[in-house]
Amino acid sequence: MTKLRKESIIIELKGNKYPNYNSLITRLIDFGYTRVNMVLDPDEFSVRGNIIDIYPESHSHPIRIEYDDDMIDRLNSFDTHTQRSLSKLKNTSFSKVDIDRKKKFSKPETLHSTDLLSEFFEGDYIVHEKYGIGQFMGLERKNFLNKEVEYIVLKYHGDDTVFVPLTQLRDIYKYSYNNDLPKVNSLNDGAWKKTRAKVKKSSENLAKDIFIIQKLRIHQKGYSFKEDTVRQLELEGNFEHVLTKDQASSIVEIKIDMEKSKPMDRLICGDVGYGKTEVILRAAFKALESGKQVALLVPTTILAEQHFKIFNARFKPFGYTVKVLSRFRQKGPQEETMKELKENKCNLVIGTHRILNKAIEFADLGLILIDEEQRFGVSHKETLKRFKKLVDVISVSATPIPRTLYMSLTGTKDISVIATPPKSKKNVLTYVGPHYDNIVNKAIKDELKRKGQVFYIHNRIQSIHSIKIKLLKQHPEAIIKVGHGQLNEKELQELLVDFLNKKIDILISTTIIENGIDIPNVNTIIIDRAEQFGLSQIHQLRGRVGRSDIQAYAYILYSKNKKLTKKAEDRLQAIREYGSLGSGYELAMKDLEIRGAGNLLGKEQSGHIVSVGFGLYCKLLEHSINEAKGITTKSKKYIDVPMDLITINPQYIPNIRERLSIYRRLLRLQKRDDIKGILNELEDRYGECPSEIYENFEAISSYRE
């Protein structure tokens, strides 16, 4: 592909050397810039009234140009994350887009942007506290008190439509769902009222149950582990990394629990690669130092083998025996391990649900560690419940739980949250774009060159082998294998062990390969046909790389020539924002949190989350728990803004999602002074406000706080 000839657009304020407004737009298109609603990435430009935003590849920040007719009134750089101006410029220049340019990577974790774009796309399912589950259909202007104001349009069963005043935006939640589409409510059958009442009653019962369990646990007698020994301090001193603040506080919480005489039942939540293993390793050692045995229960055979390597390496120098019970071990050694457990010759055993087998007897079990408890079956969970009455238990989950839920459960359930990544953990650099073979081949070539391995996610079994043939032509030296759901469990496990042991360079697989597998040498993931995935899936897939201190890369690629449905286009836009803005990162976390909440609260409550939506469910549960605690729930004090003062003319801010985000911020105002900040931002991003906005904002600032 030939490079485009270098040409430049030069802007010098001194001497008025620059193109006029229309000429600049025409030249930007000729230069290969992509016109978008909001500039987030290099080689994009946007037009809003008199303002043109441009992000030249050669610039560290994009630039904002405000025209007054054909004269430039303002020239600034600006920040993509906040969309606010940074510094004034006197001149600038930029060239044509280089189509062979280096790929654009972004780091979503560092950004926060829900104040820039509303999470509502047209057609999204939402929950209104009063009307129930419906669909968001956009905004519509209607007459109110002889004034044109905007209403939120919600569609319900049949032809039912509700025009909701903007002041009720706080009562509307995005309905997040993992699998099936929700059933839209009717406005005429009273079903929503009954559903809401049922969920409220259930959340009240749950809150009471939590307190009963807590009171019972206070009176239960368990084993009190002794204080830290010198050997404990020695083991902890051997750790080659510095603990994060969250790791350190989790360890302190666990040790305090272990030294108490009541049985511990603690949950540790933390994202993939945030250092949960070190936390449970120290707890296990503390139990061993008190002469007790420890069992570590994991969902898969490969995880058992991985944990064995880590625990054995750290515990062996102190004379402790660590063994594995799994299908990868021969029958003879397994029987030997069972004998040693009974005779107290094996100190720590790691394995799958086999550990729960009645044939396995422990001489003196003191602590059970459970990795991803929600992945075990009902009968295994029942067995675990019996264990929990007798010994200390720590459950570990990589699925986050929502902050609101965590805060409201504090004091009722013992939860440690590890929310900060280790310092050595680098952000996964993320590229979002159309699928081009040269991008894929370059990504693979770069990874193999540094002796790394590649995950290639392709979710169609019918065409997965043709991907292998295609990649082999480009990379004949690479060992490429395929994994999918038609392989049996043993074949899949063996495939993963080979991948872990660096016997495979590229593993092409469907999403069947589960999370939680720690393969530090895999630092490039290619996600094919990204438009077919939800954000939470993308986030979890992306979490499979970056498990060491080596820089990792994720390529989120969508089909380039396919005509996409409105839903797929919206999803792609959200993925693009995930890569650039980080707003999608928050949405992805929300999706995962729903799962986390369901895991934490059980099957019945999961059903309730589905029936009223996650946002409203959290609100109801928080209220019920506070009632059970005897705490009066205080709602935040916002300035009471009348709806006729909120409306912004669509000609001034044409994008619905941008307008909605401003409306939401106006409804969250707690101080009159905050209105000035929003007004300054509007002038910066969209140019001079229409007189109507100045008048409305002036009126809002005179309202009581």
> Quick one: pLDDT at residue 667?
85
What is the separation of C-alpha 441 from the centre of its chain, rounded to a whole number of angstroms?
A: 28
CATH number for the domain running over 125-174+637-701: 2.40.10.170
| Structure-model confidence comparison of residues 274 and 685, the more confident one | 685
pLDDT tens track for 329-381: 778 888 899 999 999 999 999 998 888 887 888 999 999 999 876 666 656 76
The residues, ordered by sequence, that sit 6+ positions from 487 with a Cβ below 8 Å of its Cβ are 495
In the 8-state DSSP scheme, what is residue 385?
H
Burial state string for 96-118 with b = 16 or more CB within 10 A and e = fewer than 16: bbeeeeeebbbebeebebebbbb
- Mind spelling out the 3-state secondary structure of 608-620? HHHHHCHHHHHHH
The residues, ordered by sequence, that sit 6+ positions from 215 with a Cβ below 8 Å of its Cβ are none
> Has this prediction a pTM greater than 0.85?
no
Name the 3-class secondary structure at 205: helix
| Structure-model confidence comparison of residues 74 and 568, the more confident one | 74
Distance CA 80, CA 60 (A): 11
Distance CA 448, CA 614 (A): 43
The residues, ordered by sequence, that sit 6+ positions from 577 with a Cβ below 8 Å of its Cβ are 40, 113, 117, 583, 584
| Structural tokens at position 81 | 């994350």
| Structure-model confidence comparison of residues 82 and 671, the more confident one | 82
Distance CA 224, CA 257 (A): 9
Give the mean model confidence (pLDDT) for residues 85-109: 73
pLDDT tens track for 484-516: 878 887 788 888 889 988 999 999 998 876 555
> How confident is the prediction for the chain on average, in pLDDT?
84
Range in 402-416, 502-516, 529-543 the model is least confident about: 402-416
Distance CA 171, CA 612 (A): 13
Closest CA to 452 of 415, 504, 493: 504
> Quick one: pLDDT at residue 34?
87
- C-beta atoms surrounding 74 within 10 Å: 17
Residue 6, burial from CB neighbour count under 10 angstroms (0-12, 13-18, 19+)? exposed
> Quick one: pLDDT at residue 478?
96
Residue 550, burial from CB neighbour count under 10 angstroms (0-12, 13-18, 19+)? middle
Distance CA 40, CA 59 (A): 13
Position 619, amino acid: K
> Do 221-418 and 429-590 have matching folds?
yes
Name the 3-class secondary structure at 133: strand
What percent of the chain is predicted at pLDDT more than 70?
84
Please check whether residue 367 is in contact with residue 266, taking contact to mean a CB–CB distance below 8 angstroms.
Answer: no
| Structural tokens at position 542 | 């992306």
Q: Where are the domains of the chain?
A: 8-102, 125-174+637-701, 221-418, 429-590
Q: Tokens 């540094």 appear where?
A: 450
- C-beta atoms surrounding 512 within 10 Å: 13
| Structure-model confidence comparison of residues 38 and 302, the more confident one | 38
Alpha-helical (H) ranges within 167-219 are 191-219
Distance CA 243, CA 230 (A): 19
DSSP string, 280-333: HHHHHHHHHHTT-EEEEE-SSHHHHHHHHHHHHHHHGGGT--EEEESTTS-HHH
Closest CA to 172 of 215, 228, 130: 130
Range in 216-220, 410-414, 666-670 the model is least confident about: 410-414
Give the mean model confidence (pLDDT) for residues 658-678: 86
pLDDT tens track for 570-605: 777 777 666 655 555 455 556 666 666 766 677 777
> Quick one: pLDDT at residue 1?
32
Strands 125-128 and 172-174: antiparallel
Residue 687 phi, psi (nearest 5): 90, -175
Residue 10, burial from CB neighbour count under 10 angstroms (0-12, 13-18, 19+)? exposed
Helix %, strand %, coil % for the chain, to 5?
40, 20, 40
Sign of CA dihedral 442, 445, 447, 449: negative
Give the mean model confidence (pLDDT) for residues 167-186: 82
> Quick one: pLDDT at residue 109?
42
| Structure-model confidence comparison of residues 173 and 376, the more confident one | 173
Which superfamily, per CATH, for 221-418? P-loop containing nucleotide triphosphate hydrolases (3.40.50.300)
Distance CA 693, CA 705 (A): 20
> Quick one: pLDDT at residue 308?
93
CATH number for the domain running over 429-590: 3.40.50.300
pLDDT tens track for 296-310: 999 888 888 889 999
Extended strands (E) in 5-131: 8-12, 34-35, 44-48, 51-55, 63-68, 71-78, 85-88, 91-95, 125-128
> Quick one: pLDDT at residue 2?
34
Q: Give 558's strand partners.
A: 434
Q: Tokens 């511990």 appear where?
A: 264
- HSE of 517, CA atoms in CB hemisphere, 13 A: 22
| Structural tokens at position 693 | 């906005």
Which superfamily, per CATH, for 8-102? Penicillin-binding protein 1b domain (3.30.2060.10)
pLDDT band per the 50, 70, 90 thresholds, residue 112 = very low
Closest CA to 662 of 484, 671, 674, 673: 674
Please check whether residue 184 is in contact with residue 135, taking contact to mean a CB–CB distance below 8 angstroms.
Answer: yes
186 has pLDDT over 90: yes
Distance CA 115, CA 606 (A): 29
Distance CA 658, CA 570 (A): 15
Residue 603, burial from CB neighbour count under 10 angstroms (0-12, 13-18, 19+)? exposed
111 has pLDDT over 50: no
Q: Tokens 């020239």 appear where?
A: 75
